[in-house]
Structure formats: structure tokens, C-alpha cells
Amino acid sequence: MRINKKKFIYLISPTKIDKLFYQDLTKVLQQKKVSFFQLRLKKETFKKKLVIGRKILKICKKFNVKFLINDDVLVAKKLNADGCHLGQKDMDIIKARKLIGNKIIGVTCHNSVKLSKIAVKNKADYIALGAFNNSKTKKIKYKASINLLRKVKKITKTPVVAIGGINSKNYKNLLLNKANFLAISAYIWNNNKLKPLEAIKILK
């Protein structure tokens, strides 16, 4: 996986996708700061995920952004997405690899060096650590520290995605401590003060 320093954002979809979303996504991706876009829809049907996914895939392709599906390996396969993201309770990476082959597979490793080592051994393309801050998107079960980030960076060259409540006030510290990508969702999509385009422009 090539790492482009300017494209440090790993953008996660809002939980609900409305008609205006596609225009906003286009404007956000035009800023050339996003490397990955993850579709994370917990409550939609398989069919609905495919309909939404097809539209997003076109936009991602246009701006050279990798399109990943959260949790659902079968949706990723059906859409021919660039890959998928697996939580610890989802399908294991070895099974997922058999289904989607040589695509990008990332794994949530919470705040655990041990889980990170397992993911690396199983040839994950990236590992996601967090939460580094309180998040609007989901309840925090695992709290990660900068110290953990440093430890994991010492043991592996596998790219690290930092997750959890990342916004314009706290993102720089994670980049300074060598997180390769920052997973961002609420700051872009559910920002009370800024529209998505204004929000992403602040992240430099």
C-alpha cells in the first residue's frame, strides 16, 4: 500500500446516507486529502448496501480513492470494492482473503499490541487502533494512547489507521506520532458548525 502524505484521511461514511450525500462526497474527495472511503452501514439491507455502494464506488474511482466496505465481505465481493474492514467479531481475515483475494483488508486492533501482532502475522494491509478520543460515532469500549501508537509503529511496517473522535483540534498530534492515516467521520458529516467541504479544508 503506497502512502501519500497529503492524502492522510481515511473517511468513514455517515450512518445514514441521504440524497445530498453524493454531492457532498464529491466536493470532499475533490480536495485530494482522502486515501480511503469506508462504507459503514450497520442497519441497511444487503440490497440497499449494493445500491448505495455502486454510486459511491463511481465517485471514489473518479478521485482515485480506495473504496472499502465495513464488516460485510460479501458486499465487498459483489461490488468488486477495493477491499473491506474487519472488526474483531467479524469474519476472520483468512476466510475473508479466500473470498476477496488480493484486495485490501484492514483489521480493528483496538488498543492491543497482541491483536496488532496477530493482524500483521495474518497479512492485514493495515491495522486500525483506537479510540484515541471520545467519539460521536460509537460508544468507546477501548481507549488507545499515543504510547500504544508508538509501540505498534516500532514492531511493524504495516500502516496504522488511528480512529476515534478525530477532529481539527487533535489530528496533528496523531500525524506527528506517525499514524499513517486518520479515520474521520463525525467531524466531516455531523459537524454542527461546518459543512463537509469546510470541515475537510481545515485539515492540512
Q: What pLDDT score was predicted for residue 58? A: 98
pLDDT value of residue 135? 76
In a domain, 127, yes or no: yes
The reply to whether 2 falls in a domain is: no
Predicted confidence band of residue 137 (pLDDT cuts 50, 70, 90) = low
The beta strands (E) that lie in the chain are given as 9-12, 34-39, 66-70, 83-86, 104-108, 126-129, 160-162, 181-184
Percent of the chain whose predicted confidence (pLDDT) is above 70: 99
Rounded Cα distance between 67 and 143, Å, is: 27
Q: Give a yes or no: residue 4 inside a domain.
A: no
Which regions of 14-88 does DSSP assign to beta strands (E)?
34-39, 66-70, 83-86
Domain CATH number, residue 23: 3.20.20.70
- pLDDT score recorded for residue 89: 94
Asked if residue 43 is part of any domain, the answer here is yes
Task: Check whether 85 has a pLDDT greater than 70.
Answer: yes
Query: pLDDT confidence of 23, banded at 50, 70, 90?
Result: very high
Cis peptide before 76 (omega within 30 of 0): no
Cβ atoms within 10 Å, residue 106: 27
Q: Can you give the residue range of the structural domain that contains 72?
A: 9-202
Query: Is 36 a member of any domain?
Result: yes
Give the mean pLDDT of 107-125: 98
Among 17, 4, 137, 127, smallest CA distance to 65 is for 4
How large is the average pLDDT for residues 163-184?
97
Please tell me the distance from the alpha carbon of residue 183 to that of residue 37, in angstroms, as a whole number: 9
- pLDDT at residue 97 greater than cutoff 80: yes
Given CA atoms 122, 108, 100, 28 in this order, what sign does their dihedral have? negative
Lowest model confidence (mean pLDDT) among 55-64, 116-125, 129-138? 129-138
Amino acid symbol at 156: T
Query: Is 3 within a domain?
Result: no
What is the number of domains present in the chain?
1
For residue 59, CA distances in Å to 3, 11, 24, 37, 123 come to 21, 13, 11, 10, 28
Q: Does residue 153 sit within a domain?
A: yes
Taking 70 as the threshold, does the pLDDT of residue 71 lie above it?
A: yes
